[in-house]
Amino acid sequence: MPLLQLNGITKRYPSVVANDAVSLTLEPGEIHAVLGENGAGKSTLMKIIYGLVQPDSGHIVYQGETLTHHHPHQARAQGIAMVFQHFSLFDTLTVAHNVWLGLDSKLPLSDTRAQIVQIASDYGLDIDPDRPVHTLSVGEKQRVEIIRALLGQPRLLILDEPTSVLTPQAVEKLFVVLRRLADQGCSILYISHKLHEIQALCHRCTVMRAGRVVGVCDPRHETPASLSRLMMGQEPPALVHRALTPGPVRLSVEGLSLPSDDPFGVALEQVHLEVRHGEIVGIAGVSGNGQRELMAALSGEDARAEPRQICIDGVAVGHLGPRQRRRLGLYSVPEERLGRGAVPEHSLALNLLLTRNTGLSTGGWLRLSSLQRVAQDLIDRYQIKASGPQALAKSLSGGNLQKFIVGREMEAQPKLLLVSQPTWGVDVGAAAQIRASLLALRDQGCAVLVVSDELDELFELCDRLVVMSQGRLSPSLDRAGASTEQIGAWMSGLWAEASATPTHPPLA
């Protein structure tokens, strides 16, 4: 008997049919992928299974029983666990408290804490149970969600983009965990835009397009190209990385050392970095090693640096805030979409005002028509699935919101662009579009600094690579001379023997 059967699941919203008569069967011990573009209806379907969203029609059969108007508390009691793409954590509470609250058990907090330590050790998802969640990086928050799900000993585990901010080493460890769970009879529904992961991990794959199921296949017998054609109707265009000679230094960081302003943060130690006109520099590393603190110092969110420790086109900006740095051409895409990159309760049009003066008159009055026109242009240009400029940021799927935020910053014509996790949770077609846009900016002379947990993405995009570990930056490596093995070793801080490596290419 199948563990789960979905029969004709339909869910309509005012502006879109998220799920249109979707049917799916999941066997015990099966790892089943759900693949589709951003906005295809995958996350809505998972929330229906978990009880967060009620379908308009159709029914769910779980362990031979029809589920009617169930909710997450019932789902967890029946052995259904879900790891969300957008985290459901209380920022002001510790990791242990968040996990404890999500277990629906009478287990003492001290016992929960001990189990967190054990699970984290067993599965390579290291996390300090006493850290407040607001001090964690996105990757560390992802670990908390996964640990909480595993502690519930699920029979059905739903994973929505679980590896989007994990390193390749952490992904391999997670796959070992998932295969072990499947061998023990746990069924897994796995959403990912990383086609190679689906091919390596999953037994079957249901492909969705515009809310409908368009195919079911065995991904082990497919290729990335064939999966792309099933998902989008075509293959994404190949990325063209032209060799360019970089220009003068645009961003200069010299001897930047900053104590953490958070007891659980990472101190920056003697950071030296240069990014030149017309080049993309990538920062690799395990999430939580100072990337968030460095990007805050560079963007102006943290303005505690000495003025000349950070310079933009020779202008000392270490003491300046984000607004003054934007006047010098610096724009940034933060790793956190909701709450930092966008205000959830505001429309897309109003979210333009976070980093741009578009739509402001000389007297400070809002020109709503201008805001809506620019927002609509972004929706059209980046193929964002939204009901229009008045759509709330929180109503967009994760990938579509990412496209909006990246597009908003790139269309501001920056001279220096800081980007954290540029394609987190974005489908292969949209990821190719974002990466091509970043390369186009670089070709126009923009200096781009990219932080990404995906080594493949960094090798595809960047001209030079550095590694961040424990608040320090490694020497830089030219992309052509770097290897995944070397970058992986440097993630542990093992680059002392490479101290003679030049930190930047010679001036043209």
How many helices (H) and strands (E) would you count in the chain? 16, 21
Pick from 283, 286, 289: nearest CA to 266: 289
387 DSSP assignment: S
Distance between CA atoms of residues 116 and 99, nearest Å: 8
Q: What is the β-pairing status of strands 447-451 and 416-420?
A: parallel
Q: Examine the domain organization and report whether 361 and 351 are in the same domain.
A: yes
Query: What are 103-111's contacts with CB under 8 Å, separation 24+?
Result: 103/148, 103/151, 103/152, 104/73, 104/76, 104/77, 104/152
Distance between CA atoms of residues 114 and 40, nearest Å: 40
Q: Examine the domain organization and report whether 31 and 44 are in the same domain.
A: yes
Phi, psi for 204 (deg, rounded to 5): -140, 165
Burial of 2 (0-12, 13-18, 19+ CB in 10 A): middle
**Number of residues assigned to the chain:** 508
- Give the distance between the most distant pair of CA atoms in the chain: 70
Q: Examine the domain organization and report whether 288 and 144 are in the same domain.
A: no
Domain encompassing residue 38: 4-232
CATH of residue 56: 3.40.50.300
Q: Is residue 325 a contact partner of residue 416, using CB atoms and an 8 Å limit?
A: no
Q: Examine the domain organization and report whether 215 and 267 are in the same domain.
A: no
Residue 339 lies in a domain: no
Q: Examine the domain organization and report whether 83 and 130 are in the same domain.
A: yes
Domain end (from 413, 447, 473): 413
Q: Examine the domain organization and report whether 171 and 262 are in the same domain.
A: no
Q: Examine the domain organization and report whether 422 and 393 are in the same domain.
A: no
Spatial CB neighbours of 122, under 8 Å, sequence gap ≥ 6 = none
Domain end (from 388, 413, 438): 413
Q: Examine the domain organization and report whether 464 and 364 are in the same domain.
A: no
- Strand, helix or coil for residue 444: coil
CA-CA-CA-CA dihedral for 362, 413, 419, 314, to nearest 10: -90
447 DSSP assignment: E
Residue 480 lies in a domain: yes
Distance between CA atoms of residues 254 and 335, nearest Å: 24
Residue 13 lies in a domain: yes
Residue 334 lies in a domain: no
- The residue behind tokens 């290419």 is 505
- Strand, helix or coil for residue 222: coil
Q: Examine the domain organization and report whether 52 and 183 are in the same domain.
A: yes
Pick from 129, 162, 130, 128: nearest CA to 146: 162
Element (H, E) at 11: strand 4-13
Quickly count: other Cβ atoms within 10 Å of residue 214's Cβ.
15
Domain end (from 232, 261, 285): 232
Distance between CA atoms of residues 240 and 252, nearest Å: 28
- Check residue 490 and give left, alpha or beta (phi > 0: left; psi -120 to 50: alpha): alpha
Spatial CB neighbours of 210, under 8 Å, sequence gap ≥ 6 = 20, 40, 41
pLDDT at 501: 42
Distance between CA atoms of residues 397 and 385, nearest Å: 8
Distance between CA atoms of residues 360 and 289, nearest Å: 39
- Looking at the 3D structure of the chain, how many domains does it have? 3
Distance between CA atoms of residues 55 and 45, nearest Å: 9
Q: Examine the domain organization and report whether 69 and 178 are in the same domain.
A: yes
Distance between CA atoms of residues 12 and 19, nearest Å: 7
Pick from 335, 355, 354: nearest CA to 283: 335
Residue 335 lies in a domain: no
Q: Examine the domain organization and report whether 56 and 164 are in the same domain.
A: yes
The stretches in the chain having pLDDT less than 50 are: 498-508
- Strand, helix or coil for residue 300: coil
The alpha helices in 339-496, defined as continuous H runs, are 348-351, 368-381, 398-410, 428-443, 455-461, 484-490
Distance between CA atoms of residues 11 and 53, nearest Å: 9
Residue 20 lies in a domain: yes
pLDDT at 393: 93
- Strand, helix or coil for residue 51: coil
Q: Examine the domain organization and report whether 200 and 168 are in the same domain.
A: yes
Residue 336 lies in a domain: no
